[in-house]
Amino acid sequence: MSDNTVREPIQKRSIEKKEKIIKYGFELICEKGYYNTNTAEIAKAAGVSTGIVYSYFTDKHDILLEGLKRFANSIFYPSVDFINDIEINENNLEQIIREIISKFIKNHKLSKSAHEEITAMAHSDKDVANFFHENEIEMTNVVTGLLKKNGFESKDLMERVHIVIGLIDNICHETVYHKHKNINYDTMTNIVINEIVHILTK
């Protein structure tokens, strides 16, 4: 998005300003929705003038994208670094997945509206869509590599991991939002976890 006419701030105060616009702008967009947030509000929330916004960003859309780059990971993918430090094997796999899901759900609950709004944009805005596609494939690669390092040898492991990520996304979303009264989400989660183990170890 950003092109040459958009200043790349060098001085410290400028950088801070840009960061504030991204932070508070993205925050507002997540809370109220992209179309229900206007640039004046963003500027106000960031403590800058409306004019200066257009020195750092080509347009409103650009703020969204920059916000994504900064914050999407922390919103969508909570830190699960602990899996780097332990040995994953068929015995502790179930427990690890359970913990990951638990962390994802906790995260999801923390920023429900952000999750929804950004998911919505991911389905209606090309740039946002691309961002997430790239993120997903990267995550798939990382997890696949990790599992391989830990001795998982399933055929088509990458495809399996991709399916698993989808399952986790889905169960989290279901648990946080849907609350269909006849569905027991704990039960559902247990089944999903079993299934994930099955996919990865078969």
Partner DNA sequence: CATGAATGAGAGTTCATTCAT
Partner DNA sequence: TATGAATGAACTCTCATTCAT
d(CA 92, CA 154): 17
Nearer CB in complex with its own copies: 44/103: 44
Residues 106-125 that bind its own copies (CB under 8 A): 116-117, 119-124
Q: Does 160 bind its own copies (CB under 8 A)?
A: yes
Return the one option of DNA, its own copies, none that residue 116 interacts with (CB less than 5 to 8 A, by type).
its own copies
Contact 78, 99 (CB under 8 A): no
Question: Residue 137: CB partners within 8 Å, gap ≥ 6?
Answer: none
Under 8 Å between Cβ of 52 and 6: no
Residues from 48 through 77 that contact its own copies (CB under 8 A)? none
- Does position 153 bind its own copies by CB under 8 A? no
DSSP 84-124: HHS---TTTHHHHHHHHHHHHHHHHHHTHHHHHHHHHHHHH
Are 109 and 176 contacting, i.e. CB atoms less than 8 angstroms apart? yes
We find the least distance from the C-beta atom of residue 4 to DNA, in angstroms, to be: 7
Q: Rounded to an integer, what distance in angstroms lies between the CA atom of residue 107 and that of residue 197? A: 23
* Options 15, 40, 80, 142; binder of its own copies; rule CB under 8 A: 40
Determine the interface stretch with its own copies among 12-20, 72-80, 100-108, 170-178 (rule: CB under 8 A).
Answer: 170-178
Interface residues toward its own copies, by CB under 8 A? 1-3, 33, 35-36, 38, 40-41, 44, 116-117, 119-124, 129, 133, 136-137, 140-141, 156, 158-160, 162-163, 166-167, 170-171, 174, 177-178, 180, 182-184, 187-188, 191-192, 195, 198-199
